[in-house]
Amino acid sequence: MRKICILHPYLEERIHEIEKGLYPRHHLWGTKALSSLKNVEVELLQSDSMKLNPFFEKLVNRLLFRNSPGIKAELSALRASHRSTLVYSVCGPLSLLPFFGKGKLVSWVFRKPNKSTTGVFAPYSKDKLNRHAAFLCLTEKCKDFFLPHAPSTFMRWCVDMQIFNGNPPTKEALKPFFLATGKTGRDYETLIEAAKLTTSEIRIIGPKNRKPLSLPPNVLWLDSSTTPADKAIDYPTLREWYAQCTAILIPLDGDEDDTCGYTNLLEGMAMRKPVIMTRSGCLDLNPESRGFGFLISKKSPIGWSEKINLLARRKNLVAELGAKSRKIAEEEFSENRFDAELSTFFDNLLHKTR
């Protein structure tokens, strides 16, 4: 019997909410689908149940595991490597990989590593990358970097079409608004400057360290500094805001190797919304070329305000772009498609490791 142990610390705390339909299923990253493989046993590791002195854990993480998911996750995966055929790490490469044995670890990777993650003790050192069984890559650009180290495949992510079902809101908003949400890699400063050039309401769900001292009267800011972010706004409410808004705004900092905004993008598409997004990052999904939104040049308040004002005026265009958005989400980013691709990938990999 072949065995896959799954390292996904974030899922450990949310699995029961997902099963009840209270948290998006795309955060499973295909882990449930692997249970359908023939003659394969699947185990979700429980790294958080490991008991460590909090001071010791914090110190060791700061000294040795600064760029990894932490000592609990590392030790859980190390132990699992001795009783499994493969370890599937949703949280990326691991620092303790040399102790696993070569060809044991399959890691999701979102971008090429920076210098702080490539030292001798870091998870992305050349030796550790070469020891992988394979890499799952969120972009083609990412795949090109990791392919020389181990078999690598580009796999598009997915979105929960049940929570983000594209249906109309249960209650119409008092007035039209545009919605921006997300913590990392966001350029809210430019969006707020754009808000001064439009009368449309803009709602921002973002961390307080990105909030300016003063906001224009047409900007509503909801603080999402808490972890997890849905303590600030639960998913039923977020889904309702998605349904009510005119369009989704994704202002990004412009990191050419980053995938920031991906979750927001897919959820907005599933909710049948046009997307306005900064021309940055390396996602293999372009709202403008695919006909469901617009790309804005980096640091361009005027570019943002022009497209916001355009959609505020033209309801027919909003409906047209939104319909295209939902169609692409259904055809290319469904959970069933993702699960099937991931299962096939692991089935082929397991046959090679016999």
CA dihedral 238, 239, 245, 249 (to 10 degrees): 70
Distance CA 345, CA 58 (A): 36
Do 155 and 135 contact (CB within 8 A), yes or no?
Answer: no
Q: Does pTM surpass 0.75? A: yes
Backbone phi and psi for residue 248, each to the nearest 5 degrees, phi listed first: -100, 130
Which residues pair with residue 205 across a beta bridge?
Answer: 181, 222
CB atoms near residue 78 (< 10 Å)? 17
* Alpha-carbon gap, residue 330 to 275, rounded angstroms: 16
Q: What is the pLDDT along the chain (354 residues), one digit of tens a residue?
A: 899 999 999 998 899 999 998 899 999 999 999 999 999 999 999 998 889 999 999 999 998 898 899 999 999 999 999 999 999 999 999 999 999 988 899 999 999 888 777 777 789 999 999 999 999 999 999 999 999 999 999 999 999 999 999 999 999 999 999 999 999 899 999 999 999 999 999 999 999 888 888 899 999 999 987 666 667 788 989 999 999 999 999 999 988 888 999 999 999 999 999 999 999 878 899 999 999 999 999 999 999 999 999 999 999 999 999 999 999 999 999 999 999 999 999 999 998 766
- Cα separation, 63 vs 222, in Å, equals 35
Q: What domains, with CATH codes, occur in the chain?
A: 2-158+334-352 (3.40.50), 177-332 (3.40.50.2000)
Whether residue 107 contacts residue 92, with contact meaning beta carbons closer than 8 Å, is answered with yes
